[in-house]
Chain A
Amino acid sequence: MSPKEELAVIGKPLPKVDAWEKVAGDTRFADDLFLPRMAYAKILRSCHPHALIKRIETSRARALPGVYAVITGADFPPVKFGIMPTSQDEEVLCTEKVRFVGDPVAAVAAVDEETAERATELIDVEYEVLPTIMSIEQALAQEKVRIHEYGDGPNIHKAVSLEFGDVEEAFRQAHLVREDVFYFEGNTHLPMEQHAAVARWGPDGKLTLWSSTQTPHYVHRAMAKVLGLPMSHVRVIATPNGGGFGGKSDPFSHEMVVARFAQLTGRPVKCTLTREEVFYCHRGRHPVLMWVKTGVTKTGEILGMHFRSWLDGGAYGSYGVASTYYTGVLQTSTYKVPVYKFEGMRVFTNKPPCGPKRGHGTPQPRYALECHLDKIAADLGLDPVELRRRQLVDEFSMTANHLTITTCGLGECIDKVVEASGWRDKFRKLPPGRGVGFAASAYITGAGLPIYWNKMPHSGVIVKIDRGGGVTVFCGSTDIGQGSDSVLAYVVAEVLGIAPEDIRVVTGDTDLTPVDLGSYSSRVTIMTGNAAKEAAEKLQGLLFDAAAKKLDVPPSALEARARRIFVRDDPDKGMSFPDAAQLAEAAYGTLAAAGSYTPPMRGGKFKGSGVGPTPAYSYSACVVEVAVDPETGEVRPVEIWIAHDVGRAINPLLVEGQVEGSIYMGLGEALMEEQVFRKGLHKIPSMLEYKSPTTLETPEIRTVLVETLDPEGPFGAKESGQGPLLPVIPAIANAVYDAVGVRVDEVPITPEKVLKGLDLRAQGKEPRVGPERVPAARFPEPIRVPLPGEDSTLEAQATIYRRAIHRREGPRS
């Protein structure tokens, strides 16, 4: 790896490649597409949380002037879809049963949106209403009411149990064993752009779909399946996403509806969801009830941990199997947890389906765990930062649940935020009503496995060089605002010695671009970056070979920089980049190269080991200072300090943006955002009543970036888009405790909860607000997995791996 100072593009705070069109209002989002003769679609959605469909009568709707077509589930092949292969439980339009208010039932295409909407009101649906399940407790108690027929038990979508080492024995050895219960209410992504899709059925019998999706490849697969078309006749183009945060990662009904309508009407068809419908699509943060028990030594070292989670999954599977594991697997990747047991269960309820939201399944347990450790520190009379600081995971190590840690900059992160925030002068020392809280976290840089089992690369990139020196990069990735298009340009520019503005990036088009699995799991920079680097390096090789012949030097003497290829030790001797390109094309033919990336196969050899492994973990540490009004219970964050180990900041400006955005989203989740229901309906499906913080609720955010140059990442980069959200929520909760001595073990931390805690304190009772109990455990027998140290082959693997990366990359700078 090149030393840091030699890089020309990487590490520079450059504008994004698409910044100019974004500030000019020129970016075409899906709803900005207007095609000739276009029709508009509207979806009729269920008005019952749980009901059988007895009859659907569409004749009145069809008769309305301006209506082109009306469809129901009968207009699709009888196949179900879903993002996970094991949870194919969704229908484009429900045929037999509806499972939440908002479930799609029928659809209309018409001359305009108003007519389509009016026609949906003319569709008569006869329902037989079924009993409704709206909570985890109800799902487990009402065994006779079944939302789905599949799963690991009545209304249990998934139940898992894993034990790494003897956790009971660890508790017996412990100086202190503490149990706590937490609840994290569900919340949603609320991207500013409402989902939209446009479909066009060509005269050649091929389908093109433009959609605001984060995962065009998965949509491509689902479309072909549901429409009964060969994938080669379906083209999915991901338009720039006006915010995603995980909410546009599933294939959705409206995408398939416009496709079918385009086929039926011979017109392009658009469907743009209303804000209310976006709340129904959801796939957001699961409500999770959590129980955690930890045994520690006198000085707070963790000896063993047992964690249980109950996820309220809503009406469909979505990513839920992965979500379930994610509530359990990353407990071990921040601090050393030598012995660990995890039991998790996801239930079905009659609510919009939950799925992946920024941090996917990990912010809830991170909140629980960091508050739990804060309590342990208080029990032992230890500084909560010190308690954590002394038991961070080791670099290049393996956790109890067989996760491989590469670089870890958490120690430096902690030191940086402690210093920047003045922690030592503030903790337990601020006046009443003021407090500071601390938390830390780790997050994956891309999932180790794809959503569906296959041995192909996770990301592919093609780079093409034009005779004029112009470079085009093709990749299936999707820019949802995080800057993934820019990362491709920066990486290729760095390798070829040109400027990012010399590069055109073509992304998210299943006809034009090689597959990238999508913008989820913080995978894009590491996977597309590595693939782009490989492709660009191949071309660099050709350019160097051709230039070397002409200059009569060995290729290894050359360097590419500032749009020139020249002799490193004699920079005047060289040629322009376009000249080198022409020489190379003359010598080797058309200049194009592909690169691909597959994450290393890691993780244990047990069922469930696929979730959690990643090429590298990012680390974050956060301090929040809050002011709490003891009369109103209002919590106001005063300032937030965060340090994030991003491996290498490909562009520090964009990394800071990701960190700041994560803080913002965590802040909203901690204090005000919640997806709540009443009488089977979403209580507040609007931008006004679903409370997203404004400029006035968002405090100053102080970001410090820590670089550890991870051997797995392109130029050492790890993720930054999700991890920094994790510590914010527990840091706020811990700060509230420091400020007023109240433990709010339930997110969001609303004023009435704080006030209730203060009341309890005044009455001399335990000043804690949160869930009192958990359901009786009905987890399967645990899969008992040997600890890595107990299994010589695993330990050997880790050692081999450690040696391998050091050999490949050399010691870290």
Chain B
Amino acid sequence: MPEFLTLRVNGEPVQVIAPVHKTLLEVLREDLGLTGTKHGCELGECGTCTVLVDGEPVLSCLVLPVECQGQEILTVEGLAASGRLHPLQQAFAELGAAQCGYCIPGILLTSKALLDASPQPTRDEIREALAGNLCRCTGYTKILEAVELAALRMAGEERAAAGGLGARAAGQGGGR
């Protein structure tokens, strides 16, 4: 039987009528039109569908909306508050961290939760935090770099970060 649910998604209250067995992933994509949340297995085995619930990364394919009533759900669509890209989004775009981009919404949200809890993570801490998000395109290298760049910028070290970027531009065609 369809249920009437009130959820908070990306800072706004939304009403949904959906059968209780529809997962949060399905409701976000099919009932709320928030197709930025992707899926790769629907069994909790890839991390692609990650969203934040009360700031914690969870797998939307294994959550029922009824289980997160009253909680804040954040999807990739809510990451760019008031039309301005989150520093993570900016860094991912600039550094080529998104190739096919399919795993990226989940990775951005997982990274946001990491930086919210630990603003200056080491590379190994980023690896740990992202160990539940598979990416088949990038070898993770540029993803790790982008999280580091975003962290630097968010810490207000804009200048250092810009210097880092400039150095990359100058080193075109060369190795690192």
* A812 vs chain B, min Cβ distance (A): 15
Residues 172-230 (chain A) with a chain B CB within 8 angstroms: 189-194
A686 nearest CB across to chain B (Å): 6
> Given the complex of chains A and B, what is the CA–CA distance between A275 and B33 in angstroms?
22
Binds A, one of B62-70, B135-143, B154-162: B135-143
Q: What is the CA–CA distance of A28 and B35 in the complex, to the nearest angstrom?
A: 8
Q: Are the CB atoms of B40 and A275 closer together than 8 Å?
A: yes
- Taking CB atoms and an 8 Å cut-off, the chain B residues in 66-109 that contact chain A are 75-77, 79-80, 85, 88-90, 92-96, 98-105, 108
Return chain A residues, CB-CB under 8 Å to B85. Answer: 20, 23-24
Kindly report which residue of chain A lies nearest to residue B100, judged by CB atoms. A481
**A274-303 interface with B by 8 A CB criterion:** 274-275
B36 within 8 A of A: yes
Q: Is B169 in contact with A12, judged by CB distance below 8 angstroms? A: yes
Q: How far is the CA of A251 from the CA of B126 in the complex (A)?
A: 39
Q: Check if A688 sits within 8 Å of B101, measured CB to CB.
A: no
A648 CA / B108 CA spacing, docked (Å): 31
B30 interface residue, CB < 8 Å from A? Answer: yes
Q: Which residues of B contact A483 (CB under 8 A)?
A: 96, 99
- Residues from chain B with Cβ under 8 Å of A27 in the complex: 101
Report the separation of the CA atoms of residues A705 and B93 in the bound assembly, to the nearest whole angstrom.
21
Q: How far is the CA of A483 from the CA of B43 in the complex (A)?
A: 30
A695 B75 Cβ-Cβ under 8 A: no
A660: B residues at CB distance < 8 A: 138-139, 141-142
A694 interfacial contact with B, CB 8 Å = yes
Query: With A and B bound together, what is the CA distance between A705 and B40 in angstroms?
Result: 33
Interface SS, A side: loop
Q: Collect the chain A residues with CB atoms within 8 Å of residue B132's CB.
A: 694
Among candidates B38, B76, B172, residue contacting A242 with C-beta atoms closer than 8 Å: B38
Nearest-Cβ distance from residue B118 to partner chain A, whole angstroms = 16
Known contacts being A686-B43, A704-B174, is A29 close to B168, with CB within 8 Å?
no
Residues in chain B near residue A700, CB distance under 8 A? 141
Which interface residue of B89, B100, B103, B133 has the most chain A CB atoms within 10 A?
Answer: B100
The residue in chain A whose Cβ has the minimal distance to the Cβ of B105 is A25
CA distance A275 to B89 in the complex (A): 28
Q: In the bound complex, do residue A654 and residue B96 qualify as a contact, i.e. CB atoms below 8 Å apart? A: yes
A665 within 8 A of B: yes
B78 to chain A, nearest CB (A): 9
Check if A11 sits within 8 Å of B172, measured CB to CB: yes
User: Quick check: B41 and A16 within 8 Å, CB to CB?
Assistant: no
Task: Provide the bound-state CA to CA distance between A703 and B138, in Å.
Answer: 13
- Contact present for A664 and B138 (CB under 8 Å): yes
Among B108, B130, B173, contact of A652 (Cβ-Cβ < 8 Å): B173
Contact, CB under 8 Å: A482 / B176: no
Tell me, yes or no, whether B16 is within 8 Å of chain A by CB. no
Q: A192-B100, A695-B130, A704-B175 are in contact. Are A25 and B139 (CB under 8 A)?
A: no
CA distance A253 to B101 in the complex (A): 26
Measured CB to CB, the nearest residue on chain B to A642 is B175
Chain B interface bracket (under 10, 10 to 19, 20 to 34, 35 or more): 35 or more
How many whole Å from A722's CB to the nearest CB in chain B? 13
Query: How far is the CB of A638 from the nearest CB of chain B, in Å?
Result: 14
A480 within 8 A of B: yes
Contact A686 B41 (CB under 8 A): yes
CB contacts (< 8 Å) of A420 on chain B: these are: 175
- Flag if B36 contacts A26 (CB, 8 Å): yes
**B48 is an interface residue with CB less than 8 A from chain A:** yes
Q: In the assembly, what is the distance between CA of A420 and CA of B174, in Å?
A: 13
- Shortest distance between the CB of A312 and any CB in chain B (Å): 23
Q: Residues 7-51 of chain A: 1 if any B CB is under 8 Å from the residue's CB, otherwise 0? A: 000011101101110111111110110100000000000000000
Asked if B144 is at the interface of the complex by the 8 Å CB criterion, the answer is: yes
Inside 8 A of B169's CB, which chain A residues have their CB? Answer: 12-13
Known: A29-B102, A241-B100, A275-B40. A22 touches B139 (CB 8 A): no
**Residue A245, interface by CB 8 Å:** yes
Nearest B residue to A420, CB-CB: B175
Q: Is the CB of B94 within 8 A of A15?
A: yes
Kindly supply a per-residue 1/0 record for chain A positions 698-715, scoring 1 wherever the CB is within 8 Å of any chain B CB and 0 otherwise: 101111110100000000
A686 cross-chain contacts in B, Cβ below 8 A: 41, 43, 45
Is there an interface contact between A664 and B100, defined as CB atoms closer than 8 Å?
no
Is A391 part of the contact surface with B, judged by Cβ < 8 Å? no
| Closest chain A residue to B168, Cβ basis | A13
Q: Contacts A13-B169, A643-B175: A242 and B100 contacting too (C-beta < 8 A)?
A: yes
Q: Which residues of chain A have C-beta atoms less than 8 A from B33's C-beta?
A: 34
Q: Does B134 touch A at the CB level, under 8 Å? A: yes
- Report the nearest A residue to B34, measured CB to CB: A25
Q: Is A488 an interface residue (CB 8 A)?
A: no
What sequence of 0s and 1s flags, for each residue 731-758 of chain A, a beta carbon within 8 Å of any chain B beta carbon?
0000000000000000000000000000
Given contacts A643-B175, A649-B173, A687-B46, contact A657 B40 (CB under 8 A): no
- In-complex Cβ contact of A192 among B128, B131, B136, B173 (8 A): B136
Complex: how many Å from CA A698 to CA B124?
Answer: 11
Chain A residue nearest to B48 in the complex (CB): A192
Contact partners of A800 in chain B: CB under 8 A: none
What's the Cα separation between A654 and B100 when bound, in Å?
A: 12
Q: How far apart are the CA atoms of A564 and B43 in the complex, in Å?
A: 54
Is A458 in contact with chain B by the CB < 8 A criterion? no
Contact A694 B100 (CB under 8 A): no
A481 to B142, CA, bound (A): 14
Check B172–A656 contact: CB distance below 8 A.
no
Q: Are B144 and A16 in contact (CB under 8 A)?
A: no
Picked from B41, B96, B103, B136, the residue with its CB within 8 Å of the CB of A665 is: B136
Pairwise interchain contact A694-B134, C-beta atoms closer than 8 A:
yes
Contact of A703 among B37, B77, B93, B176 (CB under 8 A): B176
- Whether A22 and B173, one on each chain, are in contact in the complex, defined by CB atoms closer than 8 angstroms, is no
Q: Which of A406-456 contact B (CB under 8 A)?
A: 416, 420
In the complex, chain B residues 30-62 whose Cβ is within 8 Å of any chain A Cβ = 30, 33, 35-43, 45-46, 48
B172 touching A24 by the CB < 8 A rule?
Answer: no
Q: Which residue of A lies closest to B174 (CB)?
A: A705
Give the residues in chain A near B98, CB-CB below 8 Å: 16, 19, 22-23
Instruction: Give chain A interface residues in 736-788, CB to chain B under 8 Å.
Output: none
Q: Are B46 and A192 in contact (CB under 8 A)?
A: yes
Q: Distance in Å from the Cβ of B122 to the closest Cβ of chain A?
A: 13
The residues of A that contact B76 with a CB separation of less than 8 Å are 24-25
- In the complex, how many angstroms separate the beta carbon of B142 from the nearest chain A beta carbon? 6
* In the complex, chain B residues whose CB is within 8 Å of the CB of A32: 29, 35
Tell me the bound Cα distance from A661 to B103 in angstroms. 14
Compute how far the CA of A32 lies from the CA of B39 in the bound complex, rounded to whole angstroms.
10
Interface string of A646-676 (1 = CB under 8 A from B): 0011011110110011111101000000000
Smallest beta-carbon distance B100→chain A, Å = 3
Which residue from chain B places its CB closest to the CB of A686 in the assembled complex? Answer: B45
Pairwise interchain contact A23-B104, C-beta atoms closer than 8 A = yes
Cα(A667)–Cα(B77), bound, Å: 33
List of B residues within 8 angstroms of A241 by Cβ: 100
Q: Would B103 and A695 count as touching, CB distance under 8 A?
A: no
Chain A residues with CB below 8 A from B103, complex form? 192
Q: Give the complex CA separation of A629 and B168 in angstroms.
A: 37
**Closest A residue by C-beta to B89:** A23
Q: What B residues does A472 contact at CB under 8 A?
A: none
Complex contacts, B88 vs chain A, CB 8 Å: 23
Cα–Cα distance between A20 and B89 once the two chains are bound (Å)? 8
Flag whether A692 is at the interface (Cβ < 8 A): yes
Task: Give, as a whole number of angstroms, the nearest-CB distance from A524 to chain B.
Answer: 14
Task: Return chain B residues, CB-CB under 8 Å to A705.
Answer: 173-175
For the complex of A and B, list the 7 residue pairs with the smallest distance between their C-beta atoms, beginning with the closest: A25-B36, A481-B100, A242-B102, A704-B175, A22-B101, A664-B139, A25-B76
A/B interface sample: 17 pairs, CB < 8 A:
A15-B93, A19-B92, A23-B104, A24-B85, A25-B36, A28-B35, A191-B102, A192-B134, A240-B101, A274-B42, A275-B42, A643-B175, A653-B168, A660-B141, A664-B138, A692-B134, A701-B141
With A243-B136, A654-B96 known, 6 other A-B pairs at CB within 8 A are: A15-B94, A19-B92, A25-B104, A191-B136, A696-B128, A707-B173
Interface residues of chain B, those whose CB is within 8 Å of chain A, are 29-30, 33, 35-43, 45-46, 48, 75-77, 79-80, 85, 88-90, 92-96, 98-105, 108, 126-128, 130-142, 144, 168-169, 172-176
